[in-house]
Amino acid sequence: MKNIIIFGAPGSGKGTYSAEIASRYGMGHISTGDVLRAEIKEGTELGRIAQGYIDNGQLIPDELMIDILANKYDSMPAGQGVIFDGFPRTIAQAEALKKMLAERGHDLGMMIELIVPEDVLMFRLLRRAGLEGRADDNEETIRKRFAVYHAQTEPLSRWFAEEGIRNTFDWDICKTKEGMLEAIFKEIEKQNA
């Protein structure tokens, strides 16, 4: 399977769709947010550094994230393809990912962009706050995360388009999780045929 980069705003469903894709195709799944939250829970040095950024809705510095990602990638089973969920979030991370994969004889594969209106994102994130109790799912931090997304992450969409690997899936067109998944699976199968 080709590698897959899942891209979209906070609350766009990256984690949910990644899990569905990983189980359907037996792929590896790296969520950088989950990696950081696990470090925080274990009370590691990395977790201590990450917490300040996460609680503020800010991104962890690129150099640190790139190291974490490369270590995690090298720990995944080879040959099954990996889903990158929440990485890259900056152009520097994207360039570093491309280089890291090239050094291993691999490539970026395909990018899947989830396009979801901001009122739907806010509704989902506030609902998740009640269900999962994530400290960064409060309205003030969510607004900061949206601002960071627009300023630092959204410009990457164009970077992927220029790489020729962007595939967009629009909530307003698909309308349901099942509709989104069906369109995504179809595209993945087409590109791996």
Q: Which residues bind ligand AMP (CB under 6 A)?
A: 10, 32-33, 36, 53-54, 57-60, 65, 86-87, 89, 93, 136, 145
| Annotated catalytic residue 124 | no
- Compare residues 2 and 128 and give the one whose CB is closer to ligand AMP: 128
Taking the complex as a whole, the smallest distance from the CB of residue 130 to ligand AMP amounts, in Å, to 17
Query: 2, 89, 186, 190: which is the annotated catalytic residue?
Result: 89
- Compare residues 132 and 178 and give the one whose CB is closer to ligand AMP: 132
By Cβ distance, which residue is nearest to ligand AMP? 33
Query: 2, 72, 98, 134: which is the annotated catalytic residue?
Result: 134
Taking the complex as a whole, the smallest distance from the CB of residue 164 to ligand AMP amounts, in Å, to 22
- Compare residues 53 and 159 and give the one whose CB is closer to ligand AMP: 53
- Compare residues 86 and 109 and give the one whose CB is closer to ligand AMP: 86
Contact 138, 129 (CB under 8 A): yes
Query: 2, 14, 143, 166: which is the annotated catalytic residue?
Result: 14
What would the 3-class secondary structure string for the chain be? CCCEEEEECCCCCHHHHHHHHHHHHCCEEEEHHHHHHHHHHHCCHHHHHHHHHHHCCCCCCHHHHHHHHHHHHHCCCCCCCEEEECCCCCHHHHHHHHHHHHHCCCCCCEEEEEECCHHHHHHHHHHHHHHHCCCCCCHHHHHHHHHHHHHHHCCHHHHHHHHCCEEEEEHHHHCCHHHHHHHHHHHHHHHHC
| Annotated catalytic residue 98 | no
Taking the complex as a whole, the smallest distance from the CB of residue 74 to ligand AMP amounts, in Å, to 17
- Compare residues 63 and 189 and give the one whose CB is closer to ligand AMP: 63
Taking the complex as a whole, the smallest distance from the CB of residue 78 to ligand AMP amounts, in Å, to 23
| Cis peptide, bond prior to residue 61, ω within 30 of zero | no
| Annotated catalytic residue 145 | yes
Active-site residue list: 14, 89, 128, 134, 145
